[in-house]
Amino acid sequence: KMNVIFFLLLGAAAAAALDDKIVGGYQCEAHSQPWQVSLNIGYHFCGGSLVNDQWIISAAHCWQNPYSQIAILGENHIWMHEGTEQFMAVDAIYWHESYDYQTFDYDIMLMKLAHPVAINEFVKPVALPKACPTPGDMCMVSGWGNIYTDQVFNPFYLQCVEVPILSNKECENSYPGMITERMVCAGYLEGGKDACQGDSGGPLLCNGELQGIVSWGQGCAQPNYPGVYTKICALMPWINEILSRYS
């Protein structure tokens, strides 16, 4: 009996500690997600993914004036200079012309960096999808999560969590009438593992391809409310058009 109570208390403590970053995840192995970007306006506010040496993909709802922000690549500990970081100015941002800030449909933007990054073991682009993901595929979400907490000066390493792609039916059942063809759900219907505020814009990586952008959800890691991601495979024509027109 005592044992069980002890574990429950431990579980509660762990849940509280993870509340404001990726929920139910773990500290990523350093630089294991070399495409991960931190978008920064004096503090980290959103994630992103490097798709080639001069372009980042993120969520349209993460839009900020390009000149007021920097993109940081090669980052692991968000408060410590480790010598692996590249601090990049943002030249231009193209968000989807059909983006709807109320429904989060077409929640995607492409950010052109002022200069190409130096590709190395800490900074590498991620592959874009050749096909859509299959329900049941295991995927990795990474991010630094919300830093508006009382633990703002604590060590803040990149967090990772693995979640499965859910079927359209499961996604629809969780969010009736709110899921469009540009959205895909990933997570566990029993809850417990999810992205959270501040992970927005970051990668959902499945089988080595970027299949999703952290977009929205009801709370974080709540039962029956999986994370909703922008479905990149459905937006490849737009992505390719922007990249070819403005590169």
User: In the numeric block, which tokens belong to residue 219?
Assistant: 């709370």
Residue 234 has a pLDDT of 98
Which one is catalytic: 107, 142, 199, 215?
107
Question: Chunked in runs of 10, what are the mean pLDDT values of the chain (247 residues)?
Answer: 40 37 85 97 94 98 96 94 97 98 97 98 98 98 67 66 96 98 97 84 98 93 94 98 97
Q: How far apart are CA 47 and CA 70, in angstroms?
A: 12
Would you call 19 a catalytic residue per the annotation?
A: no
pTM of the model: 0.88
Q: How far apart are CA 46 and CA 106, in angstroms?
A: 17
Q: Which one of 3.40.50.620, 2.40.10.10, 3.40.50.970, 3.40.430.10 gives the CATH number of domain 34-125+235-246?
A: 2.40.10.10
Which one is catalytic: 38, 61, 142, 199?
61
Q: Is the dihedral of CA 30, 36, 39, 45 positive or negative?
A: negative
Residue whose C-alpha is closest to residue 201's, from 97, 93, 115, 119: 93
**Residues 206 and 226: beta-carbon distance below 8 Å:** no
Q: Count other Cβ atoms within 10 Å, centred on residue 136.
A: 9
- Domain 126-234: give its CATH architecture: Beta Barrel (2.40)
Residue 8 has a pLDDT of 40
Would you call 91 a catalytic residue per the annotation?
A: no
Residue 9 has a pLDDT of 38
In Å, what is the CA distance from 30 to each residue of 54, 123, 216? 23, 12, 26
Residue 151 has a pLDDT of 43
> For tokens 């005592």, what's the residue?
2
Residue 21 has a pLDDT of 59
Residue 132 has a pLDDT of 98
In Å, what is the CA distance from 230 to each residue of 6, 20, 29, 72, 117? 40, 21, 25, 22, 25
Q: Taking the domains of the chain in order of start, what are their residue ranges?
A: 34-125+235-246, 126-234
Which one is catalytic: 38, 49, 200, 215?
200
Would you call 200 a catalytic residue per the annotation?
A: yes
